[in-house]
Structures are given as structure tokens and as C-alpha cells.
Amino acid sequence: MALGRYDFALAIGGEAGQGIATPGDILARIFVRRGLHLYTYNAYQSIIRGGHIFLTVRISDEEVYSHGDRLDLLLCLNQDTMDRHLSIMGPDTRVLYNGDNVKPGEPGEGVQLCPLPIADLTQSRNRLVQNTVAVGAVAALIGEDFSTLEESLTLRFGRQGQAVIDENMRVARAGYDHALANFDPFSRPLGRGTKSLAVWSGNDAVAMGGAAAGVKFYAAYPMSPSTGVLHWMAQNARNLGIMVRQVEDEIGVANMVIGAAHVGCRAMCATSGGGFALMSEALGSAGMMEIPAVFVDVQRAGPSTGVPTKTEQGDLWQVLGASQGDFERFIVAPHDALDAFNTVPELFNLCDKAQCPGVLISDLLIGEGRFSVDPEDINLHPKIDRGNLITEHAASNGYKRYEMTETGVSPRALPGLEGYVHVVATDEHDEDSMLISDEFTNPHKRRMMVEKRARKFLGVVGDIAPPELEGPEDAEVTLIGWGSTYGPIKEAVDLLKVQGVTANQLPIKWILPFHADEVTEILGRSRRTIVVENNYSGQFARYLRSETGIKADGHIRKYDGEPFMPHHIVNGVLELLAEKTERYVPYQEVVV
């Protein structure tokens, strides 16, 4: 635990089919109701039964930005978890396990082994009942009152009837009492925050952001790790008046979304890298037809099918180069779940104002992680700006859908509006929407249309906040990251200070348009620059160099499917400062 605040991390390990999510959900509900901040990461395999699952839950009375570097309590639901992770447990930690069938190895100094005689405590043949016994034991070890656990269990099993509630309450009490009688509780009592919090995932936040932005059509083909967005939309569609369609493939998804957006409906879809590849041509058609729509790419480890249940930041250049030709598109990579929620309405407003598609890049770490949030920070009524959208009939005097304007944005009329007849097609066109590829292609008209579309960003870039440096101006090291690396870098900066190294962070959120001048000015003052990203080839480092001419002094890259932990970045900075390497790749100490 960190000194000066309550900071506690526990992990639950087992195999798919052992119901690991249930104890995690029960404990998470207890923690956030106490006002504790929560950050979870679930390392799991792409199989229905077996494999290894490792759920890390970190809590604190102050905000946390990663799942941390160490564990205080390890709950082993099978022998594999004990074999893999016992070695990482340090002094004053506890290891809970089923003493009937899990055999511990040799623990490190100060590690207390806590075997639970599951059969004696439960008198039950249900193998999943060990999870509830373990939750009871965890509650006892962290100093939580059993009445609070009773409330959480009632909420969790309420739909299954009173008999199920009573059975889980009985075995939880058995685990609770056994732990109190036989194990040493943690010396520091469970912390408490100032107010109760809520829990959501990054995918929930993206979906809620879409609903708040006024999305009325959502389509998707299920593809992990983006499927949570579809689940939330489907569960809430009827109450929110949103049409949700599960389509046969991502080609159909993209074209349905663009069709819905064309008629004036705010429309959105989400997928992962493989699905986004199928959407690429449609994205280009939205650029040509100047139709605003939002696409979400929740990245997995790739290429091809890749590792569906692991995280990576490997799709940046795919998104930058999606479809052929030059056309304007927004690309934004939020830092966390709350940032994703707030970014979706902002992205829709920008897409409507500039009449072009937008892409939000997330990843598994954000999308499937579960995080605490203060409900008061969730603005369910953001500003809505539909741009230059004609919705009512007025004297058109010869409507030109793609009229040349100083801003590059032309008045957009909804289809079917009397007096505003126009053609919308994927061919190049002139001002009044007639296709210029059907006859002699006037090179002057073609050049004018390309330049018109390019001018759009000139009018909206001022609406987008440029990145800001976080930390001391005169730091020895500036860490540059984008998207989900924000949290681990932020905590690494604090850890580096303890090591005697002053560092700051330049987090990049808006990829396109890119604030090249502001970034160049900030990094021009930096003493040493290091780019941190979750991919092999340094995709953002290359993009940074292409836009600014700046070559980073060092690189920290991770591409094993697991996210950064703060100590990975700390170790990398120290190695780079010692000039042992120019590219540091953390070694994953424990296979998860």
C-alpha cells in the first residue's frame, strides 16, 4: 500500500467457467459504495472453458489511473493461479485458496497463506460456491462489516430467488467467520471516500456518450473487444428510442450507418481492427459524399484475428490511411472512460459542422476495463451542434449541395425536402452534385472540390483543444503518449520523482487534425523526449516525426498483449537515461 493514502489491490485467478466475474462484481459494488476509486483489468483468454483468467481490482481513496504494480491479496480459484502468481506476492500480503485441492508452493517472506476448507465450510458439491466463500473471507481480511456484504449479495443474486440468496449468504458467512478466526486481517482498515461512486466500462461510456449525443441509429457486428458497446445499446435501445441493428458483417454495418446519417440521423458503429478494415471503403464514401458519421475502433492485438482478448495500439496507421485518396476525417483517442464519454458528443458536433466522418480509437484496456466514476461528472445533456443543416423548406434558388464556400462547408439539406433536389453518390461531383466522372472530367472542377473539402478543417481546428504539458516545465524527461497510455504514464511520473528523476507528460488525444505547431513548440523546450506506446513499430513516433520533424530521443514499447504497468515505464526511463538502449521493451514477469 502507498503511504499517505489507502491504496489496495487484489487479484482473482482461475479459468474460464469458474465464475470469476461474480466475486469481482460483488466486491466492486462494495468498494464504490464506500466512495473508493476503482480500476480493474481482466486478463483473459479467447476460450469458453479453461485457460487462465486473472482479474486485478485496485481501489483507493484517491483517483487511480492504472491497475498498479503490486498485489496485496491473491485469490486462487485453481492450482494454475497459485503456480503462476505466488512468486510475485511480497511482505504483508495474503493468499486465499481452496485448501481442499490447491497446493501452495513456497511463499516469499511475509506472505500469509490462507487455505479455506471449502467442503467443510459449505457442505455443497457446487464448485462455484467456493467463490462466495472466498468473497466472505476477503471481506473479513479487509475489515468490511458482514452487513455490507449481505446487501451486495442480495443485489447480485436477487433475480435468482430467495433460496439462492440464502444459500450464498450462508456460505459467505462461513468464509467470513473462518477468516476472522484463522487468518490475520490487514492492519490498515478498508478506506472510505467522501461520496458513493458508480462503476462503468469504457465501452459503456462510449455507448452512453452516443446516447447523450443524440444517436438514434446504431449498427454493429459483434467483435471483441467492442461488443460491450452493442450490448449497452441493445439493452437500452427501447427506453432511449434508438434503433439498434446487429448486421451480418462490417461492410453492411458501415453502409447502414452512413445511410442513416445521410437522412439526418446521428448514427454510430463500433468494431475492432479487423472489422474496421472492412469498413474502410465506406469511410471513404462518407468523405466523398460529405456525410457525418462516427466509427469506433476498439483495438485488439493484431494483425488478422490476432489475439482477440488482448490489448494493443496497433491500428493508428490503418485509421490514418483508411480508404483511398485524400479526404478529411477526424481521429481522436480518449485517455480513459470518462474522457471517451465526453469525447463522443464533441466528435459528433465536429463531424456535423465539417460534414465528414470521424473515428474514435479506443482499445481493450479502456473498452473492457471497469472504472469508478462520480455520477455528477457525467453530463447527460451536452451541447448539440448539427452544423449547417437545412431541415425546413425555404426558397432555395437552385440548391447546390456542394457549393463552394470560404469555409469549405456547404449547406446540407435533408433528403426529401421540397426544393432541395440533389444527387449523392460516391463519384466526384461539382457544386450542384452532378457527377463529373460521367463526362469530360474538368480538371479545374476536380481541383476545386478537393481544395473545398480540405478547407473544412481550417474552420474547426480552433474548436479542438490542443494538448497540454502535464508536470514541471523543466523536467529531465518528457514522456509522450496517446490514448490509454495516459494513466500508466501519469503514475510513472510520480514514481520517477521518488527515484530522483523529474518527468512530465505530453498526452496526445487528437490525432487528426494534429496540433503540429503546438506540439512542436512544447517539445522544442523539452530536454529529452521518450515516446511510450503499445505497439512494436512505434506507430505514433513515426506519425509525430512525419507531422513535426521531431525524432524522439527514446522509445518504450510493449506488444505482448498486456497493457503497461507504471513500473514498466519507470524501468524504461532509467535504462534510457543510462544510455543502455534507445528502445526499451518491458519484460512481462508473469504470464497472465
190-209 per-position pLDDT tens digit = 989 989 999 999 999 999 99
- Separation in Å, CA 123 to CA 135, 159, 171, 196, 305: 17, 24, 9, 36, 44
pLDDT at 399 over 60: yes
Q: How many residues does the chain have?
A: 592
What CATH architecture applies to the domain 477-584? 3-Layer(aba) Sandwich (3.40)
For residue 46, what pLDDT is reported?
86
pLDDT at 3 over 50: no
HEC string for 210-224? HHHHCCCEEEECCCC
For residue 271, what pLDDT is reported?
98
* Residues in a beta bridge with 11: 56, 74
Please tell me the CATH code under which domain 199-377 is placed: 3.40.50.970
Every domain range in the chain assigned CATH 3.40.920.10: 7-182
Residue 5's pLDDT band (boundaries 50, 70, 90)? confident
Every domain range in the chain assigned CATH 3.40.50.970: 199-377
Q: Could you count the other beta carbons within 10 Å of the beta carbon of residue 101? A: 12
Q: Mean pLDDT across the stretch 201-228? A: 98
* Residues in a beta bridge with 245: 219
Name the nearest CA neighbour of 332 among 359, 367, 368: 359
Name the nearest CA neighbour of 272 among 304, 224, 311: 224
**Over the stretch 126-168, which tens digit does the pLDDT of each residue have?**
777 899 999 999 999 999 999 999 999 998 898 899 999 999 9
Class of CATH domain 7-182: alpha beta
**How many Cα atoms within 13 Å fall on the side-chain side of residue 115?**
11
| CA quadruple 452, 456, 457, 458: dihedral sign | positive
pLDDT at 116 over 60: yes
Cβ–Cβ < 8 Å for 297, 359? yes
Every domain range in the chain assigned CATH 3.40.50.920: 477-584
For residue 123, what pLDDT is reported?
84
pLDDT at 72 over 70: yes
Residue 113's pLDDT band (boundaries 50, 70, 90)? very high
Q: Mean pLDDT across the stretch 512-523? A: 97
For residue 307, what pLDDT is reported?
94
242: CB partners within 8 A, 6+ apart: 211, 215, 216, 217, 218, 233, 236
360: CB partners within 8 A, 6+ apart: 206, 294, 295, 296, 297, 332, 333, 334, 340, 343, 344, 347
**Over the stretch 419-460, which tens digit does the pLDDT of each residue have?**
899 999 999 999 999 998 766 778 889 999 999 999 999 888
For residue 214, what pLDDT is reported?
98
| CA quadruple 25, 30, 31, 35: dihedral sign | positive
**How many Cα atoms within 13 Å fall on the side-chain side of residue 473?**
4
**Over the stretch 17-65, which tens digit does the pLDDT of each residue have?**
888 888 999 999 999 999 999 999 999 988 888 889 999 999 999 999 9
* Residues in a beta bridge with 102: none
pLDDT at 2 over 50: no
Q: Mean pLDDT across the stretch 253-281? A: 98
Cβ–Cβ < 8 Å for 26, 156? yes
Rounded distance between C-alpha atoms, residue 540 and residue 558, angstroms: 13
Percent of the chain whose predicted confidence (pLDDT) is above 90: 88
| Mean of the per-residue pLDDT values of the chain | 94
Residue 1's pLDDT band (boundaries 50, 70, 90)? very low
Percent of the chain whose predicted confidence (pLDDT) is above 70: 97
The helix (H) or strand (E) run that includes residue 115 is strand 111-116
Residue 86's pLDDT band (boundaries 50, 70, 90)? very high
Rounded distance between C-alpha atoms, residue 577 and residue 459, angstroms: 42
Q: Mean pLDDT across the stretch 292-304? A: 97
Instruction: Work out the burial of residue 103: count CB atoms within 10 Å of its CB; fewer than 13 is exposed, 13-18 middle, 19 or more buried.
Output: exposed
For residue 346, what pLDDT is reported?
98
pLDDT at 508 over 60: yes
Name the nearest CA neighbour of 488 among 569, 557, 420: 569
